[in-house]
A and B are shown apart, each in its own frame.
Chain A
Amino acid sequence: MSTVPVEVGHPSVQHWAEPGHRDDRSFLRKYVFATDHKVIGAQFLFMSLFFLLVGGALAMLIRWQLGWPGTPIPGGAILGEAKAPGGIILPEFYNSLVTMHGTFMIFFAIMPLLVGVFGNWLIPLHVGAADMAFPRLNMASFWTAVPAGLIMLSSFFVTGGASAAGWTGYAPLSAVPEYSGVYLGQKLWCISLIVLGFASLMGAVNYITTIVNMRAPGMTWMRLPLPIWSLFITAILVLLAIPVLTGALILLLFDQTIGTTFFLPPDGGQPLMWQHLFWYFGHPEVYILILPAMGIVSEVLSNGSRKPIFGYRFMVYATIAIAFLGWVVWGHHMFQSGMNPYLGATFMTSTMIIAVPSAIKVFNWLGTMYRGNIHFHVPMMNAIAFVAMFVIGGLSGVFMASTPVDIYIHDTYFIVAHIHYVLFGGSLFAIFAGIYYWYPKFFGRLMSPLLGKIHFGLTFVFYNLVFFPMHNLGLDGMMRRIYDPNQYEFLQPLQPVNTLISVSALLLGAAQLIFIFNFVWSLKAGKKAPANPWNANSLEWTLPSPPPHGNFTTMPTVYRGPYEYSAPDRETDFWPQSEPPGTRTGGRREEVHA
């Protein structure tokens, strides 16, 4: 419609960094109500690492109960009489622990770590922009996520305790307070997630607009670094999936408060409808939690192998395919729900098809490493662990996707093992890889590689000791979310396995202290980071560490893709995206596409 250019908001109008310009923003503007995407990324990092700790602490309590049922927790008296009298966890509190562990980890740890942290840190730098398209909206996104987290946290301290209906909040258990014994806590759970939905929405609008419109000259779609492709697809999933959850949560909240009966069968409501709405959001959510991790891993693997990523285009197509298929598989969470069995068969088929693009990615990662000049730096180790663990998690997913097998393993510890293999073994190892990789860029200091390797080694070993035996527990019939398996005679022989898992889990938790120490200590005492510690190609590595406010001094121009490692006839084994062709090395010359 508009033939006249609209001046304000045109992507080319950006506030670039001004060298030698004194930064006179106040402390509040610079670090608290900041609009700089790098600061907001760091804010998200500190927030979500805090909630990762909270979620981890809840997991420790769960493992204590399962490892040594009915034994008082050392120092457990601080939990209070209502939750753990004499330090012994009550069954009602255990339900809250399981629910809140899942809720915190998914919504307040992994999701903001992947989307909030890396989305904010990487998108403007990787596309060559001064900042996000809407910096103030970006700030609002973070300051909406914080109260959401605080509301969720506060639900532990209200009468009746925190939500105990599982992270999936199945109605009518979640809709009727008498069923779960949780009153205000369940409402706070709904409200918190609704508020968080607004934060996610603001982020998604910003990411999509920035990636589509703010790409620097030459940064074509097929030259985008793969983390950006992943975050772009993820942002679309967030944009379209979260509103459905918001709608479902609103209906649930109405059932709890104003006496509607959307999910209450006596008055015509449909519990199955909650499951459909929840999983219509929930399955795209699964890919929200893994796609950015795949992007990070692709970046790190290519860098660590000193080779171009194998099959860049197919990586992109596989990402799109996974995202698309992710919308038509939600029913595989509901094989046992009583829905039409014919429907189960279609969901089984569509779910199995997802294995194809996932396998394409795995083989491309292997192809990337094959005969590469592999540098085993700490991010690379975590990235390789991601690939291995994702394969295990993916294969156990195929078990559950086939309905006959799922009838047997549904709601057992097999499911718990699977989700943790993709979410911890997958996403969290990728997050560690990403943090180790980009920490020098954003904090200006190097993390200790020795501590990083110790942290990785211990995490990898104890992680597998915790979660691999869970497959067997599940096949032996141990139900997920169970307070004390010993109440069933046939589960009593499994107690030694549960104790082994719990010991490993406590050690796994302890190993994370090394990461925390390394993170905090390096902020002050780490070696000063050079601009490009990994000899990487993407645009952020041409900038000082940390990059100044406004990132680039002028709009960068991009000449090639981000994975031009070990190009023949060059002196160096990397080739920055913005290095003009034919300069510096006198090596292979390239036509200038002006």
Chain B
Amino acid sequence: MSHAAAMSASRPMEGMKIYNLKLGMWVFLLSEVMFFSSLIGAYIILRFAHPEQWAEPNTVLNVPLTGFNTFMLICSSVTMVKAFAAIEHGDQAGLRKWLIATIILGAAFVGIQVYEYIKLAQHGFVPGAAAYAAEGGPLYGSTFYTMTGFHGAHVTIGVLALIFTAVKAFRGKYTSTDYGGVEIMGLYWHFVDLVWIILFTIVYLI
């Protein structure tokens, strides 16, 4: 960078020691926390008010399958960290390799979720009111699809952003001193992973 530009002022700038992109991503993730909190909060209120509408765990939802999916998403966080660690040391090949691995794991997660949705819909478990009164109540499906659906949308956007990041990585746009794009991608990805761990617990396991 133009160190000259930074040093031209007689005094350093006020502000934090982290760069704008990273600060901006952290700020954005705070709002994401509030968004998922509103959905989770609504879920808690409804479930406490009408526990009878929820089926026993592992009767409607396939916990082993989604457990495997959860494992994959956690693995994808590991590969994301590997990608970031690689570019911090200027390892271009490592960056590309681990980014591709993260994309594959993320896409597989979305794929399995779509498969799960199709299977559930075939059994009549849809967010319509009366269609599946036999298996829990209407709120069960409504909250399930809303919460997992918005998380799935976040993963999908994350995979698209990862592809964008990977294309830039293959063009050699990141270096050991300019890795901001990879780092904020990682922040977002870990956040999505973290949200899933909470959602998996309260939607599938409890």
Interface residues of A (CB under 8 A from B): 2, 4-14, 133-134, 137, 201, 204-206, 208-209, 212-221, 239-244, 246-248, 250-251, 254, 258-262, 267-270, 273, 276-277, 280, 554-555, 557, 594
Contact = CB atoms under 8 A, between A and B. Distances in A.
A280 B11 CA distance: 43
Interface stretch (B44-52, B55-63, B113-121): B44-52
A340 to B, nearest CB: 14
B27 A11 contact: no
B38 A205 contact: no
Nearest to A594: B10
B177 A240 contact: no
A594 B42 CA distance: 54
Closest 5 interchain pairs by CB? A247-B38, A217-B11, A12-B6, A243-B35, A260-B142
Contacts of A4: 88, 176-177
Contacts of B22: 6, 9
Interface stretch (B13-21, B101-109, B154-162, B194-202): B13-21
Given A242-B31, A259-B127, A6 B179 contact: yes
Contacts of B13: 11-12, 213-217, 555
A247 B20 contact: no
28 contacts: A2-B183, A4-B177, A8-B21, A9-B19, A9-B22, A10-B1, A12-B13, A13-B1, A13-B5, A14-B5, A205-B27, A205-B31, A208-B27, A209-B24, A213-B13, A215-B13, A217-B14, A246-B38, A248-B42, A258-B127, A259-B128, A261-B139, A261-B142, A267-B138, A268-B139, A277-B41, A554-B8, A555-B8
Contacts of B21: 6, 8-9
Contacts of A258: 127-128
B31 A133 contact: no
B10 A557 contact: yes
Give the interface size bracket for B toward A. 35 or more
Nearest to A273: B45
A472 B142 CA distance: 46
A247 B1 contact: no
Interface string B105-146: 000000000000000000000011100000001110110001
A276 B139 CA distance: 18
B91 interface: no
Contacts of A239: 27, 30-31, 34
A581 to B, nearest CB: 13
Interface core residue of A205, A240, A557 (most chain B CB under 10 Å):
A205
B53 interface: yes
Interface in B141-180: 141-142, 146, 150, 176-180
Contacts of B2: 13
A10 B20 contact: yes
A590 to B, nearest CB: 15
Interface core residue of A12, A13, A270, A276 (most chain B CB under 10 Å):
A12
B39 interface: yes
B84 to A, nearest CB: 9
A259 to B, nearest CB: 4
Nearest to A267: B138
A235 to B, nearest CB: 9
A154 B170 CA distance: 45
B180 A133 contact: no
Interface core residue of B1, B50, B88, B128 (most chain A CB under 10 Å):
B1
B14 A133 contact: no
A215 to B, nearest CB: 4
A13 B21 CA distance: 13
A213 B16 CA distance: 6
A267 B141 CA distance: 12
A209 B35 contact: no
A260 B127 contact: yes
B28 interface: yes
Contacts of B9: 12, 216-217, 554-555, 557
A213 B20 contact: yes
B20 A268 contact: no
A250 B146 contact: yes
B177 A7 contact: yes
B38 A248 contact: yes
Contacts of B37: 244
Nearest to A220: B14
Given A251-B39, A268-B53, A268-B139, 12 more contacts: A12-B9, A209-B23, A212-B15, A212-B23, A213-B18, A217-B9, A217-B11, A240-B34, A241-B34, A250-B146, A251-B146, A261-B138
Nearest to A216: B13
Interface core residue of A4, A217, A221, A247 (most chain B CB under 10 Å):
A247
Contact of A260 (B19, B28, B146): B146
Contact of A262 (B27, B31, B88, B142): B142
Contact of A219 (B14, B31, B32, B180): B14
B12 interface: yes
A273 B46 contact: yes
Contacts of A7: 1, 177-178
A268 B138 contact: yes
B31 A240 contact: yes
B6 A13 contact: yes
A241 B26 CA distance: 16
Contacts of A244: 34-35, 37-38
A205 B180 contact: no
B27 to A, nearest CB: 5
A221 B15 CA distance: 9
Nearest to A239: B31
A555 B15 CA distance: 14
A2 B35 CA distance: 29
A557 B38 CA distance: 43
A2 B19 CA distance: 10
Given A217-B10, A270-B46, A2 B20 contact: no
A594 B6 contact: no
A267 B137 contact: yes
A557 B6 contact: no
Nearest to B176: A4
Contacts of B35: 243-244, 246-247
Contacts of B6: 10, 12-13
A572 to B, nearest CB: 24
B19 A10 contact: yes
B82 to A, nearest CB: 14
A6 B39 CA distance: 36
A276 B45 CA distance: 11
B129 A261 contact: yes
